[in-house]
Structure 1
Amino acid sequence: MSEVQIEEQQANPYNARKPWHEVEDTTSKQDANGLFYSEDQQATLNDEAPDNNDQAPKKRTNYKKRYDDLKKHYDQKLSEFRQREEELVATARSAQPSYEPPKTEEDLEQFKQEYPDLYNTVETVAHLQSDRRVADLESQLQSLRQRESEVMRKEAETTLRSNHPDFDDLRGSDEFHEWAKEQPEQIQGWIYNNPDNVTLASKAIDLFKLETGQARTTKKQPKANSGSAADIVSTKTTNVDPKQAKIWTEREIAAMSLDQFDKHEEEIKQAMEEGRVVK
């Protein structure tokens, strides 16, 4: 039996190869009449790869050296700037004229003529400062005055209590204030507008006690040697026997002027203590 040769067909997936792909290319590659055709040139690794052996290796950057150079340059410029600044300041100071403040009235007047605006400004500032200082001193002085007035008032009240133990009772008594309203303005001033004058306040209290019959009568009223009481006591001060103490009346004391009351104040007080004051 003869062997049958079976031609194995080449696979053509997806019918990619067409019949015309199998036509043998008869185009001459050397003939000038044919179409231009250039052979595919395959690049070889040896042809395209650069020769690294011929190139010199790259140098590494020294950043520390660059930083040192920059810092050195910066410090140098900074030193130059400071030196220049000091020179300018020294030049400005040397160019500034020396100034001496005026000390005498003549110097002050000359300064006023040369610099009137500046003089007015300085004067305004001085006045403002002076006003503030005066205001502070006035406030301190007012505080001291209040303290002094309070101390004097307390001392006056202490003295009044020693002269009149019932002073606190009289100060709160309606009878005393009603009596004061009926008195002249001068006597009212002794009571209400008198912060520290003990003498005047004591006189006002004495008058109140005389007119209201609150004078002490610790001793018996002496008898007159002869005549009636009308012959001995009058509305005016009269001469009496030196051996006999004077007997006063409340009407007589109330009718006295201030000068007369001051003159006989001690005598009247003694008469009140001895009971020689009658209505």
Structure 2
Amino acid sequence: MRLLAPLVALGMVLLGAPVAASAASECSGVTVVVDFGSLGGGVRTGCAGGDPGSGLAALGGAGFAFDLASRQPGFVCRINGAPASDPCVNAAPNTAYWSYWHGTPGGSWSYSSAGASGYDPAPGSVEGWAFGAGGQPGIAPPAPAPQPQPQPQPQPPVQPAPNQPAPGRPAPSQPASGQTGQPAPSGTASEQPAPSQTGSSASATGSSATSPPASPSESAPASTSVVPTAGSREDRGVPVGLIVGLAVMVALGAAGWWIARRRAESSGGAGS
């Protein structure tokens, strides 16, 4: 499986298919940076998804084709066919070669002390290749892009309470405490006509105007007001005043009969 990925990448280059390159912020595996330096290819970045088992697997999984030196297995002598002048026989030419680096996202590069075939990069790390006299890649290890912050959800508009006026509208005027909504009287107490003091003045002038009715306290004498109580009524519901009146009439009749009789006796005695 480790040899299959380089062969597939090499086939893609030979067939003219474009090599996919993903940004480090989008890579969930190992990010690979290849600096072609003076070879004219610039700096390219790719992503090897998952957990590649070696540096060579990460290089091929990121979309780069490579060739190994025939006299030293595991040594990369060409990447994407460059440099074309290298016969890939010896381990390294006398002037320039592909140096192998490790980096941390957003950090710095460190020269690899192990060959790419024997190193196992961890997911989330960065691998670097640079062609030249042993210099590091021309860019720093890419840092992952910051995660987007969740946008605050819009809040629904605040609905006014049932007794609260809507915003922008004046509140209805409320009556003062202790007052009602009824209209005020048309005149004051001083404008009302004063009641007549007695009924004799109106009858003496002969005017057709009538006096306003007297109040209950003025029309009924205090001596004749009898307030019956619950105990002053009979069981049959006969008014007490009627009973008293009948008793008075009987008493008056008896008294008159007795007086008449006494006069008659007095008159008889005087005649004898």
Looking at secondary structure, tell me which structure has more strand per residue: 2
What TM-score, normalized to structure 2? 0.22
Looking at secondary structure, tell me which structure has more helix per residue: 1
What TM-score, normalized to structure 1? 0.21
